[in-house]
Amino acid sequence: MSTLRWEDPANTGANRLPGHAYFFGYDTPEAAATGQRGLSQGFTSLSGECRFRYSDHPARVTASDLAERAVTHEGTLAQGWATVSVPHLWQLDGYGDLQYTDEGYPFPIDVPHVPSDNPTGVYQFDVELAPNVVGTERILRLDGVEAYVEVHVNGVEVGWSKGSRLAAEFNITAAARDGHNLVTLKVLQFADSTYIEDQDMWWASGVFRDLYVYERPAVHLADYVIRTALTQDDAAHLTVGLTVTDAASEAGQPRIGWRVRSLDGAQTLASGETGAPQGEADIDVVIPGVSWWNPEVPTLYRLDLEVHDGAGRPTQHVSARFGFRDLTIRDGLMWLNGSYFAMHGVNRHDHDDRFGRAVGMDRVRRDLELMKRHNINAVRTAHYANDPRFYEMCDEIGLLVVAETDLESHGFANVGEIGRITDDPAWRTTYVDRIERHVLAQRNHPSIVMWSLGNESGDGCNITAMYERCKELDPTRPVHYEEDRDVRDVDVISTMYSRVSQMNDFGEHPHPKPRILCEYGHSMGNGPGGLSEYQQVFDRWDSIQGHFVWEWCDHGLREVTDDGRVYHRYGGDYGDYPNNANFCIDGMVFPGQQASPGLTEYAQVISPVKIEADEGGLLVRNGFYFTTLADIDLVVTDLVDGVVTRSLTVPAGPVPPREHAVVEVPAAAAAPGHEVLRTVVVLRRSATTWSAPHSQIGVYQFAAGPATDASAGSSVAPVALLPRRPLTVIEADHTLTVSAASSTWTFDTLTGRMLTWRGAGRDLVVRSPKVQMWKPLIDNHQQEYDALWHPRHLQVMQESTRSVRVERAEGTVTVVVETTLAPPVLDFGMRVTYRWELFDDGAARLSLSGAPYGDYRDIVPKIGVDLGMAVDCDQVEFYGRGPGENYSDSQTSQVVGRYATTVAEMVTPYVVPQDYGNHQDVRWAMHKDRHGRGLVFAAQESLLNWSAWPYTSEQIDAARHVTDLVADPAALTVNIDHALLGLGSNSWGSEVLDSYRVRFEEFSYSFIMAPLNAGDMDPNVVVRAARGAHPHPDTPTEA
C-alpha cells in the first residue's frame, strides 16, 4: 500500500474545515444586502497574477519552493519560475500536456497508484492582510483545484485536500500574520481521486476556480439550513437551523436577530430573535401569502441575520437569499409547490474555448441566459459540482438543477469492471466525502430539485453509503443515480440514451418512482435529429418528468492560424494518445458560445406554447406549469407564394397552466392557384432578466388555403419566360451543342454529361450535374458509415455511361443518358436515367430516375444530384423551409417562406466540417450574380432539398478543421436532392427513425431550370411561367 497522501483513498484531506453553506459575513446590514462577497469581512482575493513553477515530479519541489518567495534581490523571478494568472489550467498556459479521452484513464490502471512522474505545479501568492482583531479567524477558501493540493502559509503547512470540483477551506489564522504573507499551493495533476474524476473532458489541472481569504469574528454564524414547506392552508412553513461558533470569553450566550424580507428589503414578512445555547438555534414560523419559487417566476426573499455576542454587541450580518419552495413525491410523481412539473433540460460541463474549465462567471451567466432564451428550464451539472455562484444564478434566473457531485469512474469500463472501486469498501470514505461536501454547501438553493450521486461508475456498496449520507443531510430532496438500475437506493429512476419506443414503453408502464432520461439527443456535429418524436412521448406521459440533452457546449479549444483564422482543436490535435478525437465536440452550443442549429430546433421542440390550426382561429396550448399566457402575444402572418400579405398581433390571453383555449383570428384571404400559408410567432411581451421584450419562444405554420404541391400554379395559362427561338443543334467531335433563346447547352455525347450551360450572356453551370448517393459524412452517421457504407464503398461509387441518345421534337431537344452508379469490388448498384429536356425558351427540365440491382437495399446518405455553378453566382434566394438549415427529422424550428442570403452566409461552422446547410420543402431556389443574372431551380412533382457550398463534397469530407476548407475556385457546389437521410443522434444514441430513412431503392424526381436575365425579375413569375410552359407529364392541366 502506498504511503503517499495522493495514493490513499481512505483520507481525503487534512485540516480541511467541515463543509457548510456558501455565505459571507458583513460588518453592516447594508453591505450584507448587496450580496457582493468583495465587501464581506476581511475578504481578500488571491485570484490574478502569481508566481508559478512547473515540475514533472512532486519530489522536484523543494522546501524553499514552498517557504521562500521566488524573487531575486533584484526583484526578478527566480530561475525556473514564471508568472501566470489564475484561475487557469496550466496546460493551456503551455505547461505539460493536454489530453482528451471520453472514458479511458491517461495512465495504467493500478489502484490506488498514479504515475510517479506526476506533473506538479507550485503557486506562490503575496497576500496583504489587514491587522487582525483578537479572536478573528482567517479562512483560506479554494473553490476548485485539480487534483491534489497542499496549502502552505509563510512556510507552514496548513493542510491538504482532494476533490477537484468541491470547495476546500482551511483555517490559516495560526500561520498568517498582519501585513505581508506568502501563501503557497502545491498542486498535483493526478491522485487516487483521479480514478473517480474521469468525466469525459480534457485532462488538465491547476487552480481553475477562485481562491480567497475571508474572516470570521470570534462569534459568528458557522452554518444555516433553510427548509420550506407548503401547509394545508397554502401558507409557507419556514424552518431554519442555525449553527453559531462562540470563541469569545463573554459570559452571556450569543443571540441572533432575524428578518424575512422581500429581496429589495421593502417588505418584512416575519422577524424575531433567538438565543443559541450550545451553539444551535432554530427559526420556526408560518408565513401566509408568499410568492412560491418556480422556474417560471423565480421569486427570491432575504433572510437577514444579525449575530450578537454574549455582551449583546453585533459581530456579523448575513443576508441569505432563498426561495419558498415545496418539493414532494406523491403517486409516483414529483410536485413543486403542489403542481406537476417536468424538466426540459441539458447536461452542462464547465467549458470556455480559451480557458477550458477555468470559466469566468460572465460566461456562466451567458450560458444560463442562453438556456432560458431557448426554453430550457433545467440543467444537470454533468458530472460534478459547479462554482457556488452557479447555483445562485439558477435561483435568480429560474432553472431547475439536478445537482450532480464530482464522481465518475467510467475508465474501469475498459477493463470490464466499471464498478470495481464503487463496490470496494476501501473507497467508502472517498465516495461519501463527495456527496457530503456537495450537499452541505448547496442545500439551501431552491433551484436544486434533486441530488445526483455521480455518473457512470457502476453500482455497489459505496452508492448505498452515499445515498444514506445524502438523505441524512437533506431528507427533503429526491436522489438520482442512473446506474442504480434496480432502483435499490435512489428516489428517481433514470436511464440514458433510451430510444423513443423504449421511452414510450416506460410511459405506458410507469414505475412507482418518478422517471427521467438523464442523457439523450447526443449533439455531436450536425444534429441531433428526432427530438420532436422524443418530445411527443415525453409530453404524452406524466411519469416521465425530465429529459436532458447531451450536451450543452462543444469542448473545442480555440486556436488562431498565422493568418488570423480561428479554429478549434480537439482530441489528438496536441499529439495526445490515446484520445477520443472529436467526441468532445458534442454540444448544442459551439465553442465560442453561439447557438447551433440543434439548439434552435430543441427550443422549438420544447416550446411551452403550442399552436394548432382551428376552425375558429388558433388553438393555443399552455405548456407552462405555473404561469398563464397573459404575457404572450401571437404574431399571425399570412403569406401567398411566400410573400407577406397580412400581419397582425393578438394576445394569447390568460390561458391557465396546462390548459388550452381558442384565440379568434380572421381567416386568411383565399388566393386560387397560389399557395397560402399562415405563420404564427409566439412572443413573450415583457422583458426579463435574461431576455429582451418581444422575444420569440416558438413558431408554427399551417396551410391556410387549399393544399398545393410542388407544381402550384402550373395550371395557369403559359406566360412567355423568354422569347422563343428555334432550337439549333450542332453535333461534332463527341460534343452536342444546343442553343435556344439566351441558353446554350454543351454535352459530351460519350459520357452524356452536360459540360456547360451558358445563359443570360454568361457561364452558369460549369460542372456537370451528377446523381449522388453520398454527401459529406456527419458525426451522427459515423456508425452507419463503419457498419454499412465504408465496407460497401458507397463513398467512392463510380458512374459508367451505358447509352446516350438525342431526340428532337418541335420546341424541344431531349437528351437521354443511361448510366450505372455502383461501388468498386461489389456487384450491386443503381441503373440511372438522366432525361434532359431542352426547351426553345431557354429553360430545361432534368428528370432523374433509378432502379437498383444486386442485394443492397439498406440506407444511404441521400438520393440527389449535385452540379457546379459559376463561383460568382453566390447571391441566393429560395422559397422553402428556412431561414436556418433543416433536415427531415430536425425541421420544426424552420418555416416555409422566401429568404435571401449568400452561399458564404449559409455556412454552418461545425468544428469538424461535415454536411450542412440543407433546406427542405424547396419550391424554388435561385442563384444569381451581383447583376441579377443566374439560374432558378424549380420543383415539379415533388418538393426539393437544396443546399449550396463554396466547397466540393470531397473537400468537406477531407477537412478536419474549418481552416482546412478553402473555397473551390472552379465552382459552387449546388445540391438539388430528392431525399436525405435524417440526422438521428447515433454518434452516441438513437439511430435515424424509420420514417426518416432513405434506402437504396427505386426513385424518380424532376426539376426545371430557367435562366434569369433581369435583376429585377420576381422569381415567382419566372417559376410560374416555366411550370406553366413546361408542365410535368404527371401534372393535370386545365382543358
**CA distances (Å), origin 669, targets 640, 676, 1031:** 9, 8, 27
> Could you tell me if 794 and 774 are in contact, meaning their C-beta atoms sit under 8 angstroms apart?
yes
Burial class (CB in 10 A: 0-12, 13-18, 19+), 1033: exposed
| Cα–Cα dist 457/420, whole Å | 9
**CA distances (Å), origin 109, targets 420, 459, 529, 865:** 11, 19, 37, 51
Task: Confirm whether 519 is a catalytic residue.
Answer: yes
Q: Can you tell me whether residue 137 is helix, strand or coil? A: strand
> Quick one: three-class SS letters along 380-414?
EECCCCCCHHHHHHHHHHCCEEEEECCCEEHHHHH
Strand order in the sheet with 211-216: 44-45, 211-216, 137-142, 168-171
Q: What are the grid coordinates assigned to 980, written together? A: 436525405
Q: What are the grid coordinates assigned to 780, written together? A: 451522427
Cα 113 versus chain centre, distance: 35
Residue of 997, 752, 992, 972 lying closest to 863 (CA atoms):
997
Ramachandran angles phi, psi of 584, nearest 5° = -85, -5
| Cα–Cα dist 67/78, whole Å | 14
**CA distances (Å), origin 717, targets 713, 720, 839, 937, 1039:** 9, 10, 17, 20, 11
Helix (H) or strand (E) holding 468: helix 461-473
Which residue in 396, 483, 519, 675 is the catalytic one?
Answer: 519
Q: How far from each other are the two terminal CA atoms of the chain, in whole angstroms?
A: 94
Residue of 242, 301, 300, 227 lying closest to 268 (CA atoms):
301
Q: What are the grid coordinates assigned to 572, written together? A: 489528438
Amino acid identity at 956: I
| Cα–Cα dist 744/728, whole Å | 9
Ramachandran angles phi, psi of 436, nearest 5° = -60, -50
Q: What stretches of 130-218 adopt beta strand conformation (E)?
A: 137-142, 145-146, 148-153, 156-162, 168-171, 179-188, 197-198, 201-203, 206-207, 211-216
Cα 934 versus chain centre, distance: 39
| Cα–Cα dist 804/816, whole Å | 6
Q: What are the grid coordinates assigned to 41, written together? A: 469581512
Residue of 774, 735, 751, 936 lying closest to 866 (CA atoms):
774
| Cα–Cα dist 456/419, whole Å | 9
| Cα–Cα dist 542/527, whole Å | 27
Which residue in 404, 456, 482, 837 is the catalytic one?
Answer: 456
Q: State the sign of the Cα–Cα–Cα–Cα dihedral 655, 658, 660, 663.
A: positive
Look at the block and give the residue holding cell 506533473.
119
> DSSP states of 991-1029 as a string?
PPPGGG--BSS-EEEEEEEEEE--TT--HHHHHHHHHHH
Task: Confirm whether 784 is a catalytic residue.
Answer: no
SS3 content of the chain, % helix, strand, coil (to 5): 15, 40, 45
Q: Which residues contact 957 (CB under 8 A, 6 or more apart)?
A: 776, 777, 795
Residue positions annotated with a catalytic role: 456, 519
